[in-house]
Amino acid sequence: MAVLCNIISLFIFSAALLLHWSASAFEFQVGGVKGWTKPTGDAAENYNHWATQNRFQIGDSLYFKYQNDSLLEVTKEDYKRCYTANPLLKFASGITTVTLDRSGLFFFISGEPRHCEAGQRLIVRVLSNPAPKATTASPAPAPAPYSAPVVISSAASATTSALIMALGIALIILHYISFFLS
């Protein structure tokens, strides 16, 4: 009986680890080391080009770092017109993390005059069916103002964390049962 409980415990533990790794979310640093800044015109890439090179999934987040600026989440129409008067959300703290909590398109622009028209705007497309993410990163190309994302951290979703805790408790209970039955 003890051997059976140990095998079941190992299976539960392995399943919990697999769920934890596959449900991890990533935080992307928008603009790389330069952050969320007005493009200078000599940039090798712009924000939207950067976004098309990444796969964003529900639960991922965008990390914006900026100075003397603001970040606005806007509608598609306001994005096209660089209209700053009616944002869905406005941030001006200098550091903002936006969690991508749904599939579809997210539209961001700078709140500073003429920054959006100069290219300080971003469209992010979030996929609806997340695929497992690779655990290793490939080498990044030479730095550019809007280069590959910097992964700040990863964290399991609250649902996955709760499931892992429940499986851990089940593992402990199985060991106690095994102890008392032997």
Residue 28 has pLDDT above 60, yes or no: yes
Residues 6 or more apart from 116 whose CB is under 8 A from it? 82, 84, 109, 110
Predicted local distance difference test score (pLDDT) of residue 1: 57
Task: Indicate the helix (H) or strand (E) that contains 151.
Answer: strand 151-156
Strands 71-74 and 89-91: antiparallel
Task: Indicate the helix (H) or strand (E) that contains 180.
Answer: helix 158-181
* Residues 100, 105, 111, 115, CA torsion sign: positive
Burial of 74 (0-12, 13-18, 19+ CB in 10 A): buried
Tell me the pTM. 0.61
Residues 6 or more apart from 21 whose CB is under 8 A from it? 132, 135
Average pLDDT over the chain, rounded to whole? 77
Predicted local distance difference test score (pLDDT) of residue 8: 60
Confidence band for 173, pLDDT divided at 50, 70 and 90: confident
> Rounded CA gap, 22 and 39, in Å?
35
The per-residue pLDDT for range 59-109, each reduced to its tens digit, is: 999 999 999 999 999 999 999 999 999 999 999 999 999 999 999 999 999
What value, to the nearest 5°, has the Cα angle with vertex 46 and ends 55 and 96? 65
Predicted local distance difference test score (pLDDT) of residue 41: 73
DSSP 34: G
Predicted local distance difference test score (pLDDT) of residue 177: 74
Q: Is 74 helix (H, G, I), strand (E, B) or coil?
A: strand
pLDDT over 70 percentage in the chain: 57
Residue 10 has pLDDT above 60, yes or no: no
